[in-house]
Amino acid sequence: MANSAYDRYLETEILSADPVQLIGILYRAAAESVAAARRHLRDGQIRERSRQISKASEIINELMRSLNHSAGGEISRNLVELYAYMQTRLIEANTAQIEPPLAEVEELLNTLSAAWRTVTPAAAEAPADAEYVPMSCTL
Protein backbone atom coordinates (compact mmCIF):
# COMPACT_ATOMS: atom_id res chain seq x y z
CA MET A 1 0.00 0.00 0.00
CA ALA A 2 2.91 2.36 0.70
CA ASN A 3 4.01 2.15 -2.92
CA SER A 4 0.59 3.05 -4.31
CA ALA A 5 1.00 6.76 -3.51
CA TYR A 6 4.48 6.73 -5.03
CA ASP A 7 3.22 4.79 -8.05
CA ARG A 8 0.45 7.36 -8.60
CA TYR A 9 2.97 10.19 -8.29
CA LEU A 10 5.31 8.50 -10.77
CA GLU A 11 2.48 7.84 -13.20
CA THR A 12 1.40 11.49 -13.02
CA GLU A 13 4.99 12.65 -13.50
CA ILE A 14 5.40 10.46 -16.59
CA LEU A 15 2.04 11.32 -18.15
CA SER A 16 2.56 15.06 -17.70
CA ALA A 17 6.20 15.13 -18.84
CA ASP A 18 7.37 16.56 -22.14
CA PRO A 19 9.87 14.53 -24.24
CA VAL A 20 12.89 16.23 -22.65
CA GLN A 21 11.60 15.45 -19.15
CA LEU A 22 10.88 11.85 -20.15
CA ILE A 23 14.52 11.29 -21.07
CA GLY A 24 15.53 12.65 -17.66
CA ILE A 25 13.07 10.28 -15.99
CA LEU A 26 14.56 7.36 -17.94
CA TYR A 27 18.11 8.28 -16.91
CA ARG A 28 17.02 8.52 -13.29
CA ALA A 29 15.14 5.21 -13.39
CA ALA A 30 18.08 3.40 -15.02
CA ALA A 31 20.52 4.76 -12.43
CA GLU A 32 18.14 3.75 -9.62
CA SER A 33 17.91 0.23 -11.06
CA VAL A 34 21.68 -0.10 -11.26
CA ALA A 35 22.02 1.17 -7.66
CA ALA A 36 19.43 -1.40 -6.57
CA ALA A 37 21.33 -4.12 -8.47
CA ARG A 38 24.48 -3.16 -6.59
CA ARG A 39 22.67 -3.47 -3.25
CA HIS A 40 21.21 -6.85 -4.23
CA LEU A 41 24.64 -8.06 -5.36
CA ARG A 42 26.15 -7.14 -1.98
CA ASP A 43 23.24 -8.87 -0.19
CA GLY A 44 23.55 -12.02 -2.30
CA GLN A 45 20.04 -11.63 -3.75
CA ILE A 46 20.77 -13.06 -7.18
CA ARG A 47 17.24 -12.99 -8.62
CA GLU A 48 16.63 -9.37 -7.59
CA ARG A 49 20.08 -8.32 -8.84
CA SER A 50 19.38 -9.87 -12.20
CA ARG A 51 15.90 -8.32 -12.36
CA GLN A 52 17.27 -4.83 -11.68
CA ILE A 53 20.06 -5.24 -14.25
CA SER A 54 17.48 -6.37 -16.82
CA LYS A 55 15.33 -3.34 -16.00
CA ALA A 56 18.29 -0.98 -16.45
CA SER A 57 19.15 -2.71 -19.73
CA GLU A 58 15.60 -2.30 -21.02
CA ILE A 59 15.64 1.40 -20.15
CA ILE A 60 18.98 1.88 -21.92
CA ASN A 61 17.54 0.08 -24.96
CA GLU A 62 14.62 2.51 -24.92
CA LEU A 63 17.02 5.46 -24.70
CA MET A 64 18.91 4.03 -27.69
CA ARG A 65 15.69 3.64 -29.70
CA SER A 66 14.62 7.19 -28.89
CA LEU A 67 17.65 8.76 -30.57
CA ASN A 68 16.97 10.82 -33.68
CA HIS A 69 19.97 10.01 -35.85
CA SER A 70 19.06 12.41 -38.64
CA ALA A 71 18.92 15.40 -36.29
CA GLY A 72 21.39 14.16 -33.67
CA GLY A 73 24.44 13.76 -35.88
CA GLU A 74 27.67 13.04 -34.05
CA ILE A 75 26.06 13.32 -30.60
CA SER A 76 23.55 10.65 -31.53
CA ARG A 77 26.29 8.35 -32.82
CA ASN A 78 28.34 8.87 -29.66
CA LEU A 79 25.34 8.14 -27.46
CA VAL A 80 24.63 4.90 -29.33
CA GLU A 81 28.20 3.80 -28.68
CA LEU A 82 28.00 4.80 -25.02
CA TYR A 83 24.67 3.01 -24.54
CA ALA A 84 26.09 -0.11 -26.21
CA TYR A 85 29.11 0.04 -23.92
CA MET A 86 26.85 0.33 -20.87
CA GLN A 87 24.86 -2.70 -22.09
CA THR A 88 28.08 -4.70 -22.38
CA ARG A 89 29.11 -3.70 -18.86
CA LEU A 90 25.67 -4.66 -17.48
CA ILE A 91 25.94 -8.10 -19.09
CA GLU A 92 29.45 -8.51 -17.68
CA ALA A 93 28.24 -7.55 -14.19
CA ASN A 94 25.33 -9.95 -14.36
CA THR A 95 27.23 -12.95 -15.71
CA ALA A 96 30.36 -12.51 -13.56
CA GLN A 97 28.37 -11.29 -10.54
CA ILE A 98 30.78 -8.40 -9.94
CA GLU A 99 30.17 -4.83 -8.85
CA PRO A 100 32.75 -2.66 -10.70
CA PRO A 101 30.85 -2.66 -14.02
CA LEU A 102 27.67 -1.70 -12.17
CA ALA A 103 29.44 1.16 -10.42
CA GLU A 104 30.77 2.38 -13.76
CA VAL A 105 27.37 2.25 -15.46
CA GLU A 106 25.73 4.00 -12.51
CA GLU A 107 28.32 6.78 -12.70
CA LEU A 108 27.83 7.15 -16.46
CA LEU A 109 24.05 7.33 -16.06
CA ASN A 110 24.34 9.90 -13.28
CA THR A 111 26.67 12.00 -15.43
CA LEU A 112 24.27 11.84 -18.38
CA SER A 113 21.36 12.65 -16.08
CA ALA A 114 23.14 15.69 -14.65
CA ALA A 115 23.96 16.93 -18.14
CA TRP A 116 20.41 16.31 -19.30
CA ARG A 117 19.00 18.42 -16.44
CA THR A 118 20.75 21.42 -17.99
CA VAL A 119 18.68 21.01 -21.16
CA THR A 120 15.53 23.09 -21.16
CA PRO A 121 12.55 22.41 -23.42
CA ALA A 122 13.25 25.68 -25.23
CA ALA A 123 16.85 24.66 -25.91
CA ALA A 124 15.75 21.23 -27.10
CA GLU A 125 13.30 22.76 -29.56
CA ALA A 126 15.80 25.24 -31.02
CA PRO A 127 16.73 24.42 -34.61
CA ALA A 128 20.15 22.80 -34.83
CA ASP A 129 21.10 24.80 -37.92
CA ALA A 130 20.21 28.22 -36.47
CA GLU A 131 22.72 30.80 -37.59
CA TYR A 132 24.76 32.52 -34.90
CA VAL A 133 24.36 36.28 -35.03
CA PRO A 134 26.57 38.18 -32.56
CA MET A 135 25.05 41.08 -30.66
CA SER A 136 26.45 44.51 -31.20
CA CYS A 137 28.02 46.03 -28.14
CA THR A 138 28.27 49.51 -29.63
CA LEU A 139 25.78 52.25 -28.98
Confidence of residue 136 (pLDDT cuts 50, 70, 90): very low
Q: Is 133 helix (H, G, I), strand (E, B) or coil?
A: coil
Give the pLDDT confidence score for residue 138 in this predicted structure.
43
> pLDDT (tens digit, 9 = 90+) per residue, 55-97?
999 999 999 999 999 998 999 999 999 999 999 999 999 999 9
Structural domains of the chain, with CATH: 18-114 (1.20.120.340)
The CB density around residue 55, as the number of other CB atoms within 10 Å, is 17
pLDDT of residue 19: 80
d(CA 111, CA 125): 22
